[in-house]
Amino acid sequence: MLSFAEASFFPIPPDVLLIALAVAIPKKSFKIALYCTIASVLGAMLGYTIGMFFFDAVGNRIIEFYGIHEQFDYVAQKYNENAFAAITIAGFTPIPFKVFTIAAGVFDINLFVLLFASILSRGARFFLLAALIYRFGPTIKVFIDKYFNLLAVAFMLLLGLGMAVVKYII
């Protein structure tokens, strides 16, 4: 439920709950990651709907409430450059995902682009956390908490490098 709300209007990222639950029940880490991914993608669809149909009435209030006007303008610029990359990066990093899901609706981004990028990025994020906890147990929690932003940036750099290599080769 937290993943759903965070992707559209709620400020707390679901990672905190995912980590706590996965540490408590490591055997269910991947199932929890799956639930987080599904809920987050459904929440992204709600954010998209808010942006598409209710931005003037609701979406703008959410942006004002959280004081994220600058981020919203930044998102507009990134969507003009490459919507898929913008959503994928936002879905994996600590950038507020709701800004991107609402903006996707406002800027009439193809819904399938939003869904594919959300599934890819949120799934990668949540399943990576689940895999780390499953493999290393509770000791990894401290490491993840301390270095999450750095790990997210490193992953995105490696992903970008990999995409560049594939593009160059193909």
Among 20, 138, 40, residue whose Cα is nearest residue 92: 40
Q: How far apart are CA 5 and CA 108, in angstroms?
A: 21
Half-sphere exposure in the Cβ direction for 125 (13 Å, CA): 32
Give the pTM.
0.75
Q: Name the residue ranges covered by the structural domains of the chain.
A: 2-169
Q: pLDDT tens digits, residue range 33-45?
A: 999 999 999 999 9
In the predicted structure, residue 6 carries a pLDDT above the cut 70: no
Q: pLDDT tens digits, residue range 12-66?
A: 778 778 888 888 888 999 999 999 999 999 999 999 999 999 888 877 788 888 8
Q: 33 and 127 in contact (C-beta within 8 Å)?
A: yes
Query: Sign of torsion, CA 51 53 56 58?
Result: negative
Token pair for 147:
């270095």
